[in-house]
């Protein structure tokens, strides 16, 4: 079995677990698997973080979250203990990136049985995306569609 296949086989449950744990720990929020295809939000954001194993260097990819900006604002409000209306773009951006940082930190150890394996991570990126990017992520291989606080969240791992 190739490493890419192993990552893809393991990713669904691992993604859900890593993301749900990070969301619960940081924002005291929960996520459920979406029962239907999430609609394109009015405003959507994408946060990505690259990872590469130090020993088994073919263990590499991108952990990606696509979500409504409303979800990102609700997360930030929970983390900071304030009303979402009081938040600025920088706070929302930083908090969403930190969520991915925590989720990737929980996800990457699940990719290797080697106790000496470590992972190099890039700083997370944050961007606003449109309908075409949302649809591409939604129907890509390895995508997990979730609902949190009534808002759509699409998480996936892209194998490099």
pLDDT per residue rounded down to tens, the chain (160 residues) = 455 555 555 667 888 889 999 999 999 999 999 998 889 999 999 999 999 999 877 889 999 999 999 999 999 999 999 999 899 999 999 999 999 999 999 999 888 888 899 999 999 999 999 999 999 999 998 889 999 999 999 999 888 8
3-state class of 48 per DSSP? strand
Task: Please measure the distance between the N-terminal and C-terminal CA atoms of the chain and give it in whole angstroms.
Answer: 16
Whole-number Å distance between alpha carbons of 72 and 94: 10
Q: Is the pTM of this model over 0.85?
A: yes
Comparing C-alpha atoms, which of 62, 79, 60 is closest to residue 124? 62
**Do residues 138 and 57 make contact, with C-beta atoms less than 8 angstroms apart?**
no
Residue 128 DSSP SS3: strand
């Amino acid at each position: 079995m190739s490493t890419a296949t192993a990552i893809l086989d393991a990713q669904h449950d691992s993604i859900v677990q890593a993301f749900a744990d990070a969301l619960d720990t940081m924002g005291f929020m929960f996520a459920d698997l979406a029962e239907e295809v999430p609609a394109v939000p009015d405003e959507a954001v994408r946060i990505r973080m690259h990872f590469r194993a130090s020993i088994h260097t073919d263990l590499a990819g991108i952990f990606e979250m696509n979500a409504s900006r409303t979800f990102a604002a609700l997360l930030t409000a929970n983390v900071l203990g304030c009303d979402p209306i009081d938040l600025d773009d920088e706070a929302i951006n930083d908090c969403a990136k930190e969520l991915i940082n925590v989720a990737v930190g929980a996800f990457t150890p699940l990719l290797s049985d080697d106790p000496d394996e470590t992972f190099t991570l890039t700083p997370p990126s944050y961007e606003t995306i449109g309908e075409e990017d949302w649809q591409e992520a939604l129907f890509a291989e390895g995508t997990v569609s979730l609902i949190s606080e009534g808002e759509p969240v699409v998480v996936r791992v892209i194998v490099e």
